[in-house]
Amino acid sequence: MRFEATIVFWPVTIGTIRMKRDLLKGVCTDVVELLHDRHVNAHVFAILRRMKPLRQIEAVERMIASDTFSVVFAKAILAFTKPEMLVEPEAKRPGQAQSAAGQALLEKESEGLLRDLKAVEDSYGTDMLTLTVSCGYFERLLGSSKVTKYLERNHVDTLHALRSLIADVRIGDSRPN
């Protein structure tokens, strides 16, 4: 019996090993905990390291809320970061607004969008529960032949809207998370 050894060379460079070794240096431990079960591009951590820990946490919360962990998104968050929230503030960053008024307006809009997103996140579960219960009730109502006949005669558009809503909720419930 003869054994042959096969040697496989992986294209690993010293730079790659160093990058992976230093991947989390300068990144807040809370951020690491938030991202521990997510697939994140390694270059995102380099961008996060340029922010102070509080801003890193805010940035990662935005990434999680939008389910976007790309380098482009991280760079966009970095571009809208106030200089006092950076580890080393730069005189002029690429993508930065030309005027202080423009930068203030962008920051205000960004904060407003984040507040709106938080409000939607807070009410989403309750809204979905209400919708599901309501659709169950409508489905029971439409199970009654008297109600269905009445709607067919007097409110056809409402009947179609209810059936469409019930079908949409069923499709949404059957999708995997």
The predicted-structure confidence for 34-61, as pLDDT tens digits, reads as follows 998 988 888 899 999 999 999 999 999 9
Closest CA to 120 of 132, 128, 109: 128
Instruction: Work out the percent of the chain whose per-residue pLDDT is above 90.
Output: 30
The per-residue DSSP string of 145-165 comes to HHHHHHHHHH-HHHHHHHHHH
Residue 155 has pLDDT above 90, yes or no: yes
Residue with tokens 């970095």: 78
Q: Please return the burial class of 31, using the count of CB atoms within 10 Å of its CB with bins 0-12, 13-18 and 19+.
A: buried
Angle subtended by helix axes 71-79 and 53-66, to nearest 10: 130
Q: Given this model, what pLDDT does residue 143 score?
A: 93
Q: For the segment 64-123, what is each residue's pLDDT rounded down to a tens digit? A: 888 888 888 898 888 888 888 899 876 655 555 456 677 777 777 777 777 787 788 788
- The predicted structure's pLDDT at residue 152: 95
Given this model, what pLDDT does residue 97 score? 47
| Mean of all residue pLDDT scores within the chain | 83
pLDDT confidence of 9, banded at 50, 70, 90? low
Question: Which DSSP state fits 12?
Answer: -
The structure tokens 């929230």 sit at: 85
Contact 69, 38 (CB under 8 A): yes
